[in-house]
C-alpha cells in the first residue's frame, strides 16, 4: 500500500502543474481507478499512481508536449502526431519516467494509451482508460450507463467506450489512430469469445 509520504510527494509534483479543476479530475481518476482495480484484481497502488498522473503533461505548452513526445519509447502513429489533444498522453509517460523516475512498464503504458487505447491492453491500462471516462467529475449524456458497464465487465465497457470514441471521431471528420482501431477489433473479438463461452455453459 502507498504510504502517506509517497502520496504527498506525488501531490507535490502534480499540484503545481495543473489547474485546480484538472487536479481534482486527477484525484477523482486515481480514486475511481483504485476502485476498479480492487473489483478486477488489478494492483491498486499502480492504478492509483497511473490515474493520479495520467494528465500530468496536459497543461504544458504544445511545443513542450511535442518535445517530450520526441523522446518517447512508445510507437506513435501519424494520426497521433497531428492530433494535439492526444499529445499529452505520450508526453505524460515521458514526464513520469524522466522526472519521477517511475520505470514500471504497466504504469507508463497505461498513461501512454489512456487517450487512444490499444490492442491487448492490460487490466491496469483498461482500468485507467475507463476511470478517466467515468470519474466523479465527468458529466455527459451516457455517463451513468458507462459507470454501470465499467463495474459489470471490462471487456464490455471497453468495447462500448471505443464504439463511442470511433463514432464521435467519424462524425467530427477526424482520423482515427491505428491503435484505437486495433483496440476496437480486439474487444469485438474478446466480447464474441466470452459470449460464446457463456452460451456453451
Please give the residue ranges that form the binding site for Fe ion (CB under 5 A): 55, 132
Contact between residue 60 and residue 91 where contact means Cβ atoms under 8 Å apart: yes
Q: Which helix (H) or strand (E) holds 29?
A: helix 20-40
Considering beta carbons, is residue 55 or 160 the nearer one to Fe ion? 55
H-assigned helices in 75-177: 78-82, 87-100, 105-112, 123-134, 143-150, 154-172
Q: How far is the CB of 8 from Fe ion (least distance, A)?
A: 22
Please, what sign has the CA dihedral across residues 133, 134, 138, 144?
Answer: positive
Half-sphere exposure of 9 (CA within 13 A, CB side): 9
Considering beta carbons, is residue 55 or 80 the nearer one to Fe ion? 55
* Residue the block writes with cell 465497457: 157
Q: How far is the CB of 59 from Fe ion (least distance, A)?
A: 11
Q: How far is the CB of 23 from Fe ion (least distance, A)?
A: 11
Considering beta carbons, is residue 132 or 186 the nearer one to Fe ion? 132
Contact between residue 177 and residue 116 where contact means Cβ atoms under 8 Å apart: yes
Considering beta carbons, is residue 32 or 132 the nearer one to Fe ion? 132
Considering beta carbons, is residue 53 or 149 the nearer one to Fe ion? 53
Q: How far is the CB of 14 from Fe ion (least distance, A)?
A: 12
Question: CA 73 to CA 69: how far, in whole Å?
Answer: 9
Longest C-alpha distance within the chain, in Å?
54
Considering beta carbons, is residue 91 or 149 the nearer one to Fe ion? 91
Q: How far is the CB of 9 from Fe ion (least distance, A)?
A: 21
Q: From 180, 177, 170, 184, select the one nearest 81 (Cα to Cα).
A: 177
Where are the extended beta strands (E) located within the chain? none
Q: How far is the CB of 55 from Fe ion (least distance, A)?
A: 4
Amino acid at each position: 500500500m502507498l504510504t502517506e509520504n509517497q502520496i504527498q510527494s506525488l501531490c507535490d509534483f502534480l499540484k503545481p502543474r495543473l489547474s485546480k479543476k484538472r487536479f481534482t479530475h486527477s484525484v477523482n481518476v486515481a480514486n475511481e481507478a483504485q476502485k476498479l482495480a480492487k473489483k478486477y484484481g488489478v494492483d491498486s497502488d499502480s492504478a492509483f499512481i497511473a490515474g493520479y498522473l495520467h494528465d500530468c503533461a496536459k497543461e504544458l505548452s504544445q511545443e513542450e508536449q511535442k518535445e517530450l513526445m520526441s523522446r518517447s519509447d512508445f510507437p506513435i502513429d501519424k494520426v497521433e502526431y497531428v492530433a494535439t489533444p492526444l499529445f499529452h498522453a505520450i508526453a505524460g509517460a515521458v514526464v513520469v519516467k524522466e522526472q519521477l523516475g517511475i520505470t514500471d512498464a504497466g504504469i507508463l503504458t497505461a498513461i501512454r494509451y489512456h487517450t487512444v487505447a490499444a490492442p491487448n491492453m492490460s487490466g491496469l491500462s483498461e482500468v485507467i482508460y475507463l476511470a478517466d471516462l467515468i470519474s466523479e467529475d465527468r458529466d455527459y449524456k451516457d455517463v451513468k450507463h458507462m459507470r454501470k458497464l465499467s463495474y459489470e465487465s471490462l471487456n464490455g465497457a471497453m468495447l462500448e467506450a471505443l464504439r463511442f470514441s470511433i463514432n464521435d471521431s467519424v462524425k467530427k471528420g477526424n482520423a482515427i489512430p491505428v491503435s484505437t482501431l486495433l483496440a476496437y477489433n480486439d474487444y469485438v473479438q474478446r466480447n464474441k469469445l466470452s459470449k460464446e463461452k457463456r452460451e456453451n455453459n
